[in-house]
Structure 1
Amino acid sequence: METLDIRKKSLEIQDIISKYTRESFVCFFADFIRHNPERGELGFSKKLKSKLKDSIYLIMLRLSSPIDGEQVLVYSEEVDKNLQKVADILLQMVDFYLGDIYSKDFDEIKNERHKTLVHEMAFKDYFQNGVLNYREQELNKVIRLFHPYQDKIKERLGIELRSLIDICQYSEDDYVKKSIRSKSFIFKKEFSKFAEKSFIGTKLNKKFSNEFFNLPKNIQNDFLDFNERPHSCLLFTKEDYYEVFEKNDVDIFCNLFSIPIDGDYNILFYSQSNPLDAKPIIKINDSEYLNVFQKQLPTALYNLLYATLTASAKETEQLNLRRGKVILERHTRDIFERFFKKSKHLKVFSNYYVNENPEEKDLLIIADGNAFVIECKSSRNREPRRDSNQAFQRIKSDFNDCIQKGYEQCYQVELLILNCPNISIKSNNLVQELDTSYINDVFSIVVTSERFATIQSDLGLLLNKPNAEDLYPWSINIDDLEIFLKTLNLEFNNPTRRFAEFLEYRELLNERLFSRDELDVCAMYFNNPSNFKKICGSSGYIVTDPLLQTHFDELYFSKKIKFKILNF
């Protein structure tokens, strides 16, 4: 296999982008990250496989360069050519990682298809895959896990948990207001008439100058400001926040979540940890800050608080126990109880025991003649190793600790329901006898706190079943589960029957599916349920369309799907 000098290629990119000033470069790509749907037709954009991950890598690669740069980065045909060169090199690098770093065979993978897909997962899913969830979900994760530790948070960080949450929320609200204000000229009658005369598609015609200078002065200024600084809505000053929050809280927040534009960085390789994941704000100068990656703020807050509250092995053990045994199980139960609340015949058992089995199980729901056996797993999904001899073993180990173990626990209960006319269930110190003859079907579901992407969507890649004819479970991340069930409730009059239908057909996709996100599969069902069933019933190999996920975004931004921030 042809080798590629990753260091050399990374330096090639750095040389290309270092001609631009740091400030103009980071502002350009911050705008590109946030407003990519409007920037999607730019030539270089079409070549980037992960517009978010590629962009934050390029930002840190630029900040790691000792060169000041002289050119202000403003989009043009010449700039696009340079960025297309950058995108081409990035593609070479990613292809090399997939083709060379994980090039050796593994005994555990029995055929070439499995090897290819697991390798695809190992790099792309970890380093490139974006996540569809919503800000409220991320903030609620923070509240659920950390609200009992408010005194420790204040003691160790010098700021209240509530202040951290409130500033995160205000950051988004501030952006929205500034964004609306910066584009307000578009909605003025004078500009609408001007645009009709002066634009052919996205290009200006020759009458532009004459027509433009006939506009009112304030509209001219607003238009020019927006074109010169489209990123302005992502900028803020501490003084902006001082008007709403205590000065000390704002100072601490900015210190916790920002990196200086002129800091000393050493980011060269794509797979290095990116400082913007932990601190998604760049301090441009003494007065201005740039929100590079606002959606990451709640996640960065979660990770910061987790690190802050796990100073010892005992604290780590206690917090992890709470994260899995308390938070994930309770949240999963709440989601399912809300979903099934209108079912005529409903029984819910949590933290239960079946017959004489001494192992506690998580959740069993009997609804409308179907049994849903649910296990909740909060485990780890570690960064893939570079060493090809160790890479697969780590992936397999994490999968086994989480999804495989959850399946095995579900399988024990599933067998009893299918094979015993009556089973004894003990829950909350009460023992009930369950007549299984009234149960039409049994579905096993493994709900995870982490995302395993490809190997979670197609369980045929790594899951071991006792018998080949046994059905696969459904495994899904907790956020995706919440989005999916909310959408079922919203779009169908009979959501519980639709849920059972989805699970029945979804099982058939394992062993022939390539999808990096379970919501891609869910979106297929909502887009066309009849066609979804035909696809599942066919024998062909399925590659999901990630663009279908816009179905959920449309519902969210139209406020049809809502997530309420928890009180604490």
Structure 2
Amino acid sequence: MTLEELSKQLKELISTYDTGWLLGDLSGLMHAGGNHTAADQLGKLSSPQRQLYYLAGLLMTSDPRNGTDNMYDPDKWDEIVNLLNKIEQAYAAMFFPKDEVVDDHWQKVRKVAMPSFLDYFNQGPLNFEEQIINWVKDLYAPLDGIVIKETGLQTADFLQFYANVDALHQKNFQGVGLNGTPRANWRDYAKVQMVNTAPEPLKAMMDDTMEPVFYYMADHGIIDRFYANELVSPELPIEKVETILNLLSAERKQSDFLYYTAMKPGNPLYEKPIANLGDGMYQIFEVKQVIHAIESLLEKTCSKTKADTTALVARKGNLLEDRIEELFKALLKRDYKIFRGYYVDGCEQDLLILWKNYAFIIEAKGYNLREPLRDPDKAFVRIKDDFRGCIGYGYDQCRRVESKFLAAQLLDICDNKGNVLETIDTSEFEDNAFSVVVNLKTFGQVQIDLSSLLEIPDESSYPWAVKLDDLETFILTLLARGKGPKEFLNFLRMRETLHDKLICNDELQVCGAFLTGTINQKLIDSKEVIMTTPDHGNIFDQQYRKGIGFRDEKYLIEKKSGRWLFW
């Protein structure tokens, strides 16, 4: 069967489900995957997060008149999983030989295009919610003049909406626990009707507190359904709630969406993650996607004119540099000197941080990635161009300064008029200069192992190319575990030697493997290929559950109490 035939068959199969029930069931499975449970349903999926999102997207773009099923059927689920994996295999097959010469160039193209394509479409946002909340607050609040003009709301309203959604979700989850207190009229939110068929002696042992648990087990979406008035707070009146719901919600409606790589039309749940179930009831598919949808909405709102776009890009670049500077100050604590927006040989540089006899040459790149194309040869050209414009350009800037350190030359730090602000004797830093390129969106495998696309001089080492969120998570985890600059420097030295042998699509897997000792220099020196796995990054989730140190970290008191479960 062709990719189109497989996709149509899957959409027809999924279309028979009730909207609210299946969204809740799929959402429950996504959380179960994060907790390494539900292996019977998720164990055979190749990319559970994206595949479950794809199913939900197919449901939301199918004929709502067909949707009546509200019960799990293991045989039907096996059929769904089989189709999902065949579709995944069909996408991968696009990169296999088709009556063509397989030479070095062919292999290089596929080595870059295949992981980039699959990572882009298979991997959801990999960050913690505080990171995106703080980014949205700091980036868009100063641009509220634009936001208010276009939406009638300010950035704080959108953030309050998300806070209210998350609080309601957590309250509802706690409410269906054995010792919880469910909301009033909680049965009105259910998509199933439970009948207690237990023997009479067993019925006598059950009390009313167990009924919400049973309903939740049969209908996970019961905790995610709500009416607009439930999101009202002193800071967010009903009028604003309804305005935001109009922007972030959609009804189930038949459309041509068929492929999970489709963008026009794409999966509606990415931009509108709230389902309008009718009669005033709504349902969240995934709570965290709401804040991502808010970020996407605000970016589009602030990019409608050339003047607005210019203001947004400038603000984004400054904020990225602010974040990097804050993180290195927290890590190094004292005895550092920072040069920002300085000039070397008449060219502008972003950040140079000197600490003791170490130098960190840092370039910040807020480059937006374009979606990879299906055709491998065309995809390779686009990926290579984007890579050169972001990481390649950032490395060239780093290299300009790094070369001074390698040659032990005097380094003149100048302002934009060529005035020398300070002269640095680089010979004092020995071989302790590290180049770091920090971007906002990762290129995946080709960024984590730079050997595919980045050419460096023989005497140089590869830079560390890292996404801002990963840099923040790694540094804060180091600090939370009582570690500091020494461990960070050890990581940078080790990280330079991993290129040309690393298979990985998430930088935090590398960072986590370093922290746990799973990857060390002895292993690197003895292996030709090193492959990371998702569990290598578990150390960051573990730390997050204890408190990681994000600004305005949510539920920090509850985390430290050890008495709360979070959903």
TM-score under structure 2 length normalisation: 0.88
Structure 1 residue aligned with 2:449, among 458, 461, 464? 458
Query: In the TM superposition, what is the alpha-carbon distance from 1:522 to its structure 2 partner?
Result: 0.3
Q: Give the Cα separation in 1 of the matches to 2:35 and 2:405.
A: 52
Alignment of 1:122-137 (within 5 A): 122-137=116-131
Quick one: distance in 1 between partners of 2:248 and 2:341?
Answer: 39
C-alpha separation in 2, matches of 1:561 and 1:108: 50
Is 1:5 the counterpart of 2:2? The answer is: yes
Q: 1:202 matched to which residue of 2?
A: none
> 1:351 touches 1:361 (CA, 8 Å); kept in 2?
yes
Inter-partner Cα distance in structure 1 for 2:309 and 2:423: 39
Q: Deviations over 1:322-368 (max 9, x none)?
A: 222x12112211221221114xx3221111123xx010111111113
Tell me the distance in 1 between the aligned counterparts of 2:260 and 2:540: 30
Find 2:149's aligned residue among 139, 149, 155.
155
Deviations 1:364-395 (A, max 9, x none): 11113111111111112111112343111001
Unaligned runs of 5+ in 2: 182-196, 555-567
Instruction: Tell me, in whole angstroms, the C-alpha distance in 2 between the residues paired with 1:369 and 1:515.
Output: 32
Do the aligned partners of residues 512 and 83 (structure 1) sit closer, same or farther apart at CA in structure 2, a change above 3 Å counting?
A: same
- Alignment map for 1:377-456 (pairs within 5 Å): 377-426=365-414, 431-440=421-430, 441-456=432-447
- 1:512/1:27 Cα in 2 relative to 1: closer, same or farther (>3 Å)? same
- SS of equivalent residue, structure 2 residue 331: helix
> Cα offset for 1:35?
4.0
1: distance between equivalents of 2:17 and 2:64?
A: 9
DSSP 3-state at the match of 2:133: helix
Quote the Cα distance in structure 2 between the aligned partners of 1:66 and 1:153. Answer: 35
**RMSD after superposition:** 2.6
TM-score, scaled relative to structure 1:
0.88
Greater shift, 81-90 or 515-524, is seen at 81-90
The Cα shift of 1:54 comes to 1.1
Question: CA–CA distance in 1 between the matches of 2:274 and 2:46?
Answer: 23
Partner of 1:338: 330
Q: Which residue of 1 aligns with 2:133?
A: 139
SS, match of residue 382 in structure 2: helix
The CA deviation string for residues 284-307 of structure 1, in whole angstroms up to 9 with x for no partner, is: 122221110211122211111111
Query: Using the alignment, how far apart are the partners of 1:557 and 1:333 within structure 2?
Result: 26
- Structure 2 distance, partners of 1:302, 1:337, is 27
1:223-234 matches, within 5 Å, as 223-234=213-224
Indicate conservation of the 8 Å contact 2:270/2:289, yes or no.
yes
Residue in structure 2 matched with residue 527 of structure 1 by the alignment: 516
Please give the per-residue CA displacement for 1:420-440, whole angstroms capped at 9, x wherever unaligned: 342221359761121222213
Once the two structures are superposed, what CA deviation does each residue of 1:77-109 show, in whole Å capped at 9, x if it has no partner?
xx2332222222222222222222575799999
Partner in structure 2 of residue 539 of structure 1: 527
Which whole-Å CA distance do the structure 2 matches of 1:547 and 1:407 have between them?
30
Matched, 1:328 2:326: no
Gaps of 5+ in 1: 188-206
Alignment coverage as a number of residue pairs = 532
Aligned residue for 2:275, secondary structure, equals: strand
Query: In the superposition, relative to structure 1, how do residues 377 and 503 fare at CA in structure 2: closer, same or farther (>3 Å)?
Result: same
| 1:93–1:30 Cα change, 3 Å | same
- Which residue of structure 1 lines up, in the alignment, with residue 496 of structure 2? 507
1:200 corresponding residue in structure 2: none
**2:19, 2:67 within 8 Å by CA — same for their partners in 1?**
no
Going from structure 1 to structure 2, the CA distance change for 1:330 and 1:186 (only over 3 Å counts) comes to closer
1:479 aligns with 2:476: no
| 1:218 equivalenced with 2:215 (yes/no) | no
CA distance in structure 2 between the aligned counterparts of 1:238 and 1:109, rounded to whole angstroms: 59
Report the Cα offset of residue 396 of structure 1. Answer: 0.5
| Alignment partner, residue 559 of structure 2 | none
* Structure 1 residue 38, shift from structure 2 partner: 5.2
The aligned amino acid for 2:241 is V
Alpha-carbon separation, structure 1, partners of 2:137 and 2:99: 44
Q: Which runs of structure 2 are paired with 1:161-200 in the superposition (5 Å)?
A: 161-185=155-179
Q: 1:366 aligns with which of 347, 354, 357?
A: 354
Task: Assess, with a 3 A threshold, how the Cα gap between structure 1 residues 67 and 483 changes in structure 2: closer, same or farther.
Answer: closer
Match of 2:232? 242
Q: Which whole-Å CA distance do the structure 1 matches of 2:297 and 2:506 have between them?
A: 26
CA distance in 1, matches of 2:548, 2:202: 40
1:2-24 deviations in whole A, cap 9, x for unaligned? xx511100111122222322332
State the alpha-carbon separation in 1 of the partners of residues 107 and 200 from structure 2: 61
Q: Contact (CA 8 Å) 1:145, 1:327: kept in 2 or not?
A: yes
For 2:233 and 2:316, the matched residues in 1 are separated by 36
CA distance in 1, matches of 2:102, 2:338: 39
Contact residue 102 and residue 388 of structure 1 kept, 8 A? no
Say whether residues 1:319 and 2:323 are aligned partners.
no
CA distance 1:218–1:427, change in 2 (3 Å): farther
Once residues 539 and 201 of structure 2 are traced to their aligned partners in structure 1, the CA distance between those partners, rounded to angstroms, is: 39
